[in-house]
């Protein structure tokens, strides 16, 4: 018995990853965002110079951002975890007779 809704669904053949160029664009965008966060942190530290603990905190946050940005940009994108479509047809027994058991 077949499911009419599932008959028209495409069958998953491969888990092809993104092309290198597409992945590079995504990694560059991540790097730009991380490095773009450093400038506002430093500007805000200068704005809040009258509140020393806040200014120092913002500066401390901005120090490891370039290192983190490089690590994230150089890391490969995670693989997609997709559940593959499996054929779920009728399961027929190969043999329907009883098998002899050998006692030792």
Contact in structure between 103 and 44 (CB atoms under 8 Å): no
Which of the pair, 82 or 43, is modelled with greater confidence? 43
Q: What average pLDDT does the segment 69-86 reach?
A: 74
Among the listed residues 61, 68, 72, the one whose alpha carbon sits nearest the alpha carbon of residue 26: 72
pTM equals 0.54
Burial state string for 29-48 with b = 16 or more CB within 10 A and e = fewer than 16:
eebeebeeebeebbebbeee
SS3 66: helix
Between 56 and 15, residue with greater pLDDT: 56
Give the mean pLDDT of the chain: 79
The predicted pLDDT at position 40 comes to 92
Q: Where exactly are the structural domains of the chain?
A: 38-75
Q: Contact, 72 vs 26, CB < 8 A?
A: no
- Check whether 3 has a pLDDT greater than 60: no
Q: What is the pLDDT of residues 15-34, one digit of tens each?
A: 566 778 888 898 899 899 98
Full DSSP string of 27-62: HHHHHHHHHHHHHHHHHHHHHTTTSHHHHHHHHHHH
Q: Provide the Cα torsion 61, 40, 25, 71; round to 10°.
A: -10
Q: Is the pLDDT higher at 89 or at 40?
A: 40
């Amino acid at each position: 018995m077949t499911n009419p809704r599932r008959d028209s669904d495409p069958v998953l053949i491969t888990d092809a990853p993104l092309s290198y160029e597409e992945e590079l664009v995504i990694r560059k965008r991540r790097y730009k965002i991380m490095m773009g966060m450093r400038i506002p942190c430093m500007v805000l530290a200068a704005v809040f110079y009258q509140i020393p603990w806040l200014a120092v905190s913002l500066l401390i946050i901005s120090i490891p951002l370039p290192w983190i940005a490089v690590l994230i940009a150089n890391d490969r994108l995670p693989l997609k975890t997709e559940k593959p479509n499996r054929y779920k047809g009728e399961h027929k027994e190969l043999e329907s007779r009883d098998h002899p058991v050998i006692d030792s």
